[in-house]
Structure 1
Amino acid sequence: MKFKYLLAASAVSLSATAAMVAAPAAAQQITSGIEGRVVDEAGTPVQGATVTVTDTRTGQRSVLTSGPDGTFRVGSLVPGGPYTVTAQADGYEGQSVEQQFITVSGNTSFTFELTQSAAENVIVVTGARANVQQLAVGPGTAFGEATLEAFPSLSRDVRDIIRLDPRVSLERADEVDRISCLGGNDRSNTFTVDGIVQADVFGLNGTPFAARNSLPLPFDVIRETSVEFAPFDVEYSDFTGCLVNVVTKSGQNEFHGSAFYTYYDDSMLSDTIIRPDGEEVPLSSGSEERWGVTLGGPIIKDRLFFYAGYEETDLGDANDEGPLGGGFANPEFGVTQAQFDRFSQIARDVYGQDPGGYPRTLEETSVRYFGRIDAYINDDHRLEATYQRLEESNVEPDFGGGNITGLNSFEDEGTISDYYS
């Protein structure tokens, strides 16, 4: 099957396919914001103070002016960091807070208490001095890049990450780890990538995603993932359980890349298992090979950036069920290996049809591509374009329990999907 989505308004500050809007029109799903107040030592609002927010990764700056009540706010900021926030006003000593990181779960708030001074210097203060607070749009948890890189995920899947939230559990059903939020059914959840819904809306996939068997994008291109349960922001919708939201990485002024490779096969595991009754039976353990690369950096420094990723998974899932006497760990007692071989011979010799042998491993492959371009038009406008492609397939039996047929009667199912924003 093939799905194509052409989405306008992908929820960034100029969000759209080749369209631009002003920064305040951004959605909260894939961007974040910084807000706060500027006051003097007595707590009186300082009107007209200049607040500068700088993303040190790309050099993008947002210059704000505090209002009559001393407040300021900027949205549509790329999650992560580090950011530097500086507040200055005539007749006051300025303050600057460095190494600040923001998340998609809500804005980050600052309160600058400026001291009167004729010198009008700028001093660097701690986050505690600026009363830095993480605001939230409701109950939820965000997992940043540091957590994603540090936490082991053998399957390279966000499900391994979000289960760190105690309100999330993975329930094993039909060999699939399904996401249960607050005890609810996994079909009541929604999964989004950069604001685009990529959930299993039809309910036939082996994952909660718009993919039969795997995460629909390379794991290493994820900047941040969050799980939201009851957000009050109107940008969140289409779920009664939870929203699993993924935001992808973008290029920076410095080149960054990564590569990985993992592998195992039968030679690394036992050849047999011992049943409780002492019987020793052969074990088909299968094989697994995963590899991927990412690369991001500047095309034009401070203005135009790229980020790209590729990941491939090749599995040989063990097939422990087969004809009785064929050396399978879980034999089908209704059909013996001799009967299956005789049936195959008759099909070939009499009818000219080759049913194929009975497999001990079932192939499963997944190839994922990701590309992203970010253009900073000016301090108030940003253009973002992303492309994501998934090609996956897996071999499965296409018959009911108790029946045995050859490999050529198995089904090869999968997904080919393209997402643009």
Structure 2
Amino acid sequence: MKKILLAFLPIVLLTTTLSANVDTTARIKGTVNVSGATVEAVHTPTNTTKSVVSSASGNFNINFLPIGGPYIIKVSRAGYETQTINVESLTVANPIKLSVNLISDNIDEVQVIASKVSSSKVNSGSVLSSERIAQIPTITRNIADYLKFDPRVSINGANARNSEISVLGKNSRLNDFTIDGVSFNDAFGLNDNGFATMKNPISIDFVDEITVDITPYDVSKGNATGGTITAVSKSGTNEFHGSVYTTSRDKGNVGDLPNGEEYSDFQEDALAITLSGPIIKDKLFFFLGYEESEDVRPSLMGYIRLKCYK
């Protein structure tokens, strides 16, 4: 019997004001009808604040924001009433573009609800948030199970070990897969899935967002003629959260082969635990994750001892 035991323990210790790569964060851009206005973005789950001042032409950009939300955007300037904009969620692929008109301070504060659909989207990508990921049924908990909901993505293979992710008909090795901006591609060419690991390079329970970009125009994304697949890991908030899951499969969960023969023996077991929360409220957060996977199957390779006779 061939036994494969995979275990990993990623520990993510983050302040939500820092980022390692532009591909793992969100941004807000727009214009204000006056120069010198202060634009402040508050990430509600962590109470993290980032602010900029609009330029002489009224333009502003707020970069390196944590994905997700909700956000409260406040635009203010002396002599004008503060305008508050509520943004439900931010994603890596779709920056929010706002157009703000400040008015004189003789009336009450104005509240505007902004659409989370970006008007500045310049590529043909798709986004899966952690909420959407939790709603998708899956048996293998393979990343490929979630990407197949993009009509331009096709999955070849029936299990987590051999699932090939083809984007626009291209070979899986022509994709670029990154986790928090770090490449996890199969540079040596041994795995059919195109990943640097036989199974998932990251547990789906640790993922906050998955983005698939098709022919992106962003110069920061490249190294692929297929698709650019970006996974962003979760981080902590001001509240403690945790999860535990376990799964088990064997040949009793599958039917017979088309020729009537029984499926060969196998046993798949998995266990995952996550815990996140604040270390210093509003400043420093943590996310801990552990997953263990055990896959027992008949060996496909081995040695046969032969006796030679004269």
TM-score range, shorter chain: 0.7 to 0.9
2:29 counterpart residue number: 35
Match of 1:368 in 2: none
1:14-413 equivalent positions in 2, closer than 5 A:
27-38=21-32, 45-119=33-107, 121-127=108-114, 133-172=118-157, 176-212=162-198, 214-266=199-251, 273=256, 281-317=261-297, 362=298, 395-398=299-302, 405=304
Relative to structure 1, the CA distance from residue 274 to residue 263 in structure 2 (aligned partners, 3 Å threshold; closer, same or farther) is closer
Q: Which has the higher strand share?
A: 1
Which whole-Å CA distance do the structure 1 matches of 2:296 and 2:180 have between them?
32
- How many pairs were matched up? 289
Residues 30, 98 of structure 2: 8 Å contact kept: yes
Deviations 1:229-269 (A, max 9, x none): 21122211211111111110111111111111122335556
SS class of match (1:92): coil
Q: Distance in 2 between matches of 1:203 and 1:269?
A: 30
Length-normalised TM-score, structure 2: 0.84
Q: Deviations over 1:330-377 (max 9, x none)?
A: xxxxxxxxxxxxxxxxxxxxxxxxxxxxxxxx3xxxxxxxxxxxxxxx
- Verify the 8 A CA contact 2:177 2:184 in the aligned structure 1: yes
Whether the 8 Å contact between 2:254 and 2:263 is mirrored in structure 1 is no
Please tell me the root mean square deviation across aligned C-alpha atoms, in Å.
Answer: 2.6
Residue in 1 that maps onto 2:3: none
Residue aligned with 1:160, SS = helix
What residue number does 1:24 align with?
none
- Structure number with higher relative contact order (C-alpha < 8 Å, ≥ 6 residues apart): 2
Higher-Rg member (1/2): 1
Which AA in structure 2 matches 1:172?
G
Residues 113 and 259 of structure 1, relative CA distance in 2, 3 Å threshold: same
Residue by residue, what CA displacement relative to the aligned partner does 1:249-290 show, whole Å, maximum 9, x if unpaired? 1111111111111223355566xx4866xxx64443533222
For 2:85, what is the secondary structure of its paired residue?
strand
Q: Is the 8 A contact 1:158 1:225 kept in 2?
A: no
* Alpha-carbon shift at residue 227 of structure 1 (Å): 0.9
* Structure 1: gaps of 5 or more residues: 1-11, 17-26, 39-44, 318-361, 363-394, 400-404, 407-421
- For normalisation by structure 1, the TM-score amounts to 0.63
Q: For residues 49-72 of structure 1, what are the alpha-carbon distances to aligned partners after superposition, in whole Å with 9 as ceiling and x for unaligned?
A: 221100112111112222222221
1:88 and 1:122 in contact (8 A); partners too:
no
The CA distance in 2 between the partners of 1:267 and 1:139, in whole Å, is 42
* Residue identity in the other structure for 2:110: I
- One-letter amino acid of the structure 1 residue matched with residue 28 of structure 2: I
Q: Percent identity?
A: 34
Question: What SS class does the counterpart of residue 239 from structure 1 fall into?
Answer: coil
Partner residue in 2 for 1:20: none
